[in-house]
Amino acid sequence: MVEDWPDPREATDAAEFVVAMRTLRARTDLSYRVLERRAAKAGTPLPSSTISGALSRDTLPRADLLATFIRACGADDATTEHWLAARADLAASEQAPESEPLVPEALSEDQPGRKRSKLWWPSIGVAVVVVLVAGGLLVLGDPFPEQPGALPGSSSAAAPLTSVSVTTSEATKASLGTPPTGRSRVRLAHTGLCIGEGPEKFVQEERIVLGQQDCATASPTMSVEAVDGGYRLLLHSPENGEGCVTVDYGGTHASTLLAGDNCEPGRPDQRFAFEPVTAPAKGYLIKSAAGARWCVGVFKGSGETGVQLIQDRCDGTAAQVFLIDPVV
């Protein structure tokens, strides 16, 4: 084992184990992008956003994710097994179930989200079961055992993820109707902030993603475009040209970010449904066609400017309700 690496056996719980992982990355002085490239070269994809997500939580990472991360840091087989054994002992002592994968299942080369050509828009990295019932939404239990704690730098914890019911009556649909199309401001109901691009918060490597921004400065301008089976959210960037709001990794997983990418016809990770609701606020739930059982909202329900959007469990809070204001 490298002499200056932390010993994972010294961790007494999952949170301390993740601290050891963060310390390891800091001591290797390897950026998320470098780790991503090393993992890809070894044939085990590990997106930089997945690394940042794992290192920002206080729950044990999945064993295969840990092994890939440790090897990308430069560990040999013996060191990797040492970390895996420490993780296994902690998992057994806490009697915690395996967490859901932070890395999507291996994607074939022709699937959207695996690898995108870098044209005008930057390629996007990374990264609750909702059942439609009789015109309403019923969120069943929590199939994702990992529960992130309070937002870094915030005193508020995430809203409780208990079973909730969001009513979508015919009267609601009639009063809201379909979302307006054309140039629009898309705002969060709980803050009034607008969707715009900005650096991903709470990580050292600041990837440009979609988040809630001050409406006075939010950019680029946006449009809502009706397409077959839903809507696209267009981004009109003077630097990158026209792009589309896109959910990471094909949109088929929870806990994934949204960013601008090249618009491509028929992509379910670029097509969204707008579900009218009146509670907890009047507006729309936005759900991607690829991940229709999840909702788009603000990371951990934060009210802080600049916090990124994320596709995750539908939690019944106003942090997942959007307002569409036409721009004349």
pLDDT digits (tens, 9 = 90+) for 91-102: 888 764 444 444
Please tell me whether residues 295 and 186 are part of one structural domain: yes
223 within domain boundaries = yes
* Best-predicted range by mean pLDDT (133-137, 164-168, 239-243, 314-318): 314-318
Please tell me whether residues 205 and 315 are part of one structural domain: yes
Query: pLDDT class for 204, splitting at 50, 70, 90?
Result: low
User: What are the distances in angstroms from CA 293 to CA 85, 128, 182, 278, 325?
Assistant: 35, 7, 26, 19, 25
Please tell me whether residues 64 and 201 are part of one structural domain: no
φ, ψ for residue 99, nearest 5 deg? -75, 160
- 16, pLDDT greater than 80: yes
Domain count, the chain: 2
Reported pTM: 0.54
d(CA 198, CA 200): 6
Task: For residue 315, give its domain range.
Answer: 179-326
